[in-house]
Amino acid sequence: MPTQAPPRGSNGTLAAARRWCEVTSTDYVPRLLAGSLGRAQAEGLDVLLQQADAKNLSLRRSPPWTPSGRSRSPAT
């Protein structure tokens, strides 16, 4: 059985955050959001992640996504 690679997160999201941009990133798959969050936290980057379907994006602000709930903790 092949081993599945861990989620990597969005390279574009992290590249922009490294350049001091305010970044909001969306994905439909919670596992991919978790990968992005892990990479951002490992680098000390502050990004806003939201679970969303690109077919139904809302332009209003919604609560940020976290693996454990609806509030975001600052990057450490």
Residue 73 — very low, low, confident or very high, per pLDDT cuts 50/70/90? very low
Residue 70 — very low, low, confident or very high, per pLDDT cuts 50/70/90? very low
Query: What is the per-residue pLDDT across 33-48, written as a single tens digit (0 to 9) for each?
Result: 888 889 999 999 989 8
CA-only gyration radius of the chain, Å? 13
pTM check: above 0.75: no
Cα dist from 63 to 13, 26, 42, whole Å:
18, 12, 22
User: Residues 35, 9: contact at Cβ < 8 Å?
Assistant: yes
Computed from CA positions of residues 68, 23, 39, 32, in that sequence, does the dihedral angle turn out positive or negative? positive
Mean pLDDT of the chain: 75
Mean pLDDT of 41-56: 88
Beta partners for residue 24, in sequence order: 48
Task: Assess whether pLDDT exceeds 70 at residue 56.
Answer: yes
